[in-house]
Amino acid sequence: MARLGGCNPRRDRREPSVSHHHRRALYAVAALLGAAAWWLVYRSLEPFGQWLAYRILGLGRGGRAGSAVAFFAFEAPKVLMLLAVVVFGVGVVRSFFTPERTRAILAGRRESVGNVLAALLGVVTPFCSCSAVPLFIGFVTTGVPLGVTFSFLIAAPMINEIALVLLFGLFGWKVALLYAGTGLVIAIAAGWVIGRLKLERWVEPWVYATASGPAAAGADAPLTWGDRAAFGREAVKDIVGKVWPYVLAGIAVGAAIHGYVPQDFMASFMGKGAWWSVPLAVLIGVPMYSNAAGIIPIVQALLEKGAALGTVLAFMMSVIGLSLPETIILRKVLTVPLIATFVGVVAAGILVVGYVFNLVL
Amino acid sequence: MESRLIEILGPGCAKCEMLAKHAEQAAQELGFDYAVIKVKDPAAIARRGVMQTPALVVDGQVKLQGRVLSAEKLKEFIA
């Protein structure tokens, strides 16, 4: 298409022609066929795992090696398939949200409503930890209260689609919903508490002195569905492309635990009886960094072997939601007392969640 | 020959480096006279109104935020 200097091809919309409609119909058919094929492959994974371990490799049924291999051969492709689909879907959803729009929604809001909105938006707004600092500056210097900003920053890494899809795939929708729900509550409550403590004085002074530019152009360009699908595809390439070794490693560890660790082994120190298991889980989890993909298969295996759900959820939230690399990044804009408060409040929230679940479930 | 001032805004993570590399390649293939400047200071980035890094700025205008595109696709933004 001939392009006159400076014109943006996206803004040239031709009238939808007949071939345009045909193309869309073809896309729809292709999508349906793709979905059907995906579903068929997905359903055959468990039998495949069994077949591989017991028929092809000839491992004994009920044996530990057979159990571990069947687990791995089933779970590894299953998780990757789920991941690809969900990351794509979330990529498309995220194309509807930008930090600029989120900021516009949150600026000047009252605290409690703002905290809830910020936590919800934190889940759907595209966020990369490398942009945490410019985003933080952009928020707090344009009227988004500090506590509300924190609600966003807590929700964004903790309630990520990878964690949710893996939890759903491995434990069912109830656990996934539980994780999302409690994660939101922690983000809202911790952000609100930090807001109440009036800790603006503990933000690095130069932050408030920075005059944030108005939302830059190019951030809110109108997108076609083709653009949104491209977002989805990029997300799959980026995220699944980066994360798959961790997923496989995590599933391998899970498979080993599944096959080799005796039943109820974990009950002794991660089970409900051990009251100190929750604080211990949080203490170990906080400095650790793992993406959700790596940690969840391990979580699954621990649960299988008798660890209590509350303890395990607390561990997972601590690993994913707080990490040393993240605090190092935030050190640029937050003084150490504020970072300590931030970590402390979130860890306390996770602790409470862990205890409550161990008591209730 | 046309000239372009290309700035890459970001803290220097792998994505930022890749965007810089692709942008430079695109400018070369378009045959432009160009300079690629990496802006790493977060305050400077925030002052430009950018909240998603890496960001591509061409001649002072923010063209792209939060994504890394291939050199071929970047030509559209640099041209």
Print pLDDT tens along chain A (361 aa).
Answer: 444 444 444 544 555 566 777 777 887 888 888 888 888 888 888 787 777 777 777 777 677 777 788 888 888 888 888 888 888 888 888 888 888 888 889 988 888 899 999 999 998 888 877 788 888 998 998 889 999 999 999 998 888 877 887 788 777 888 888 889 999 999 999 999 999 998 888 998 888 888 777 766 555 667 777 778 888 888 888 888 888 888 888 888 878 877 787 777 766 666 666 778 888 888 888 887 777 777 877 787 778 777 888 888 888 888 888 888 888 888 889 999 999 999 999 999 999 988 888 887 6
Residues A91, A108: one domain?
no
Residue A326 lies in a domain: yes
User: Is the Cβ pair A216, B49 closer than 8 Å?
Assistant: yes
Residue B79 lies in a domain: no
Rounded Cα–Cα distance for residues A182 and A91 (Å): 23
SS3 of B36, please?
strand
Q: Quick one: which of A300, A290, A285 has its CA closest to A242?
A: A290
A–B CB contacts, 8 A cutoff, strictly below: 83
Residue A11 lies in a domain: no
User: For residue B37, what are the β-bridge partners?
Assistant: B7
pLDDT at A146: 93
Structural domain containing residue A70:
28-95+229-247
Q: Which residues on chain A are in Cβ contact (under 8 Å) with B15?
A: 128, 130
User: Is the Cβ pair B46, A218 closer than 8 Å?
Assistant: no
Residues of B involved in catalysis: 13, 16
| Mean pLDDT taken over chain B | 88
- Which conformational region is residue A264 in: left (phi greater than 0), alpha (psi within -120 to 50 degrees), or beta? left
Strand order in the sheet with B55-58: B33-39, B3-9, B55-58, B61-65
Q: Tell me: pLDDT of B62 over 80.
A: yes
Q: Which residues on chain B are in Cβ contact (under 8 Å) with A1?
A: none
Residues A111, A169: one domain?
yes
Q: Quick one: which of A308, A20, A293 has its CA closest to A163?
A: A293
Q: Which residue has the tokens 């077949």?
A: A51
B8 touches chain A (CB under 8 A): no
User: Is the Cβ pair B51, A214 closer than 8 Å?
Assistant: no
Residue A215 lies in a domain: no
Q: Which residue has the tokens 């051990």?
A: A274
Does B54 sit behind a cis peptide bond, omega within 30 degrees of 0 on the bond before it? yes
Given A192, A220, A247, the domain boundary residue is: A247
pLDDT at A272: 67
Structural domain containing residue B4:
1-55
Residues A164, A300: one domain?
yes
Residues A278, A193: one domain?
yes
Residue A213 neighbours by CB under 8 Å, 6+ apart: B46, B47, B48, B49, B50
The answer for A 205-224 residues in CB contact with B (under 8 A) is: 206-207, 210-219
- Answer whether A147's CB lies under 8 Å from A109's CB: no
User: Is the Cβ pair B47, A332 closer than 8 Å?
Assistant: no
What is the separation, in whole angstroms, between the first and last Cα of chain B?
12
- Under DSSP, the state recorded for B37 is E
Question: What is the number of domains present in chain B?
Answer: 1
Residues A343, A327: one domain?
yes
**At residue B55, what are phi and psi to the nearest 5 degrees?**
-125, 145
- Which conformational region is residue B65 in: left (phi greater than 0), alpha (psi within -120 to 50 degrees), or beta? beta
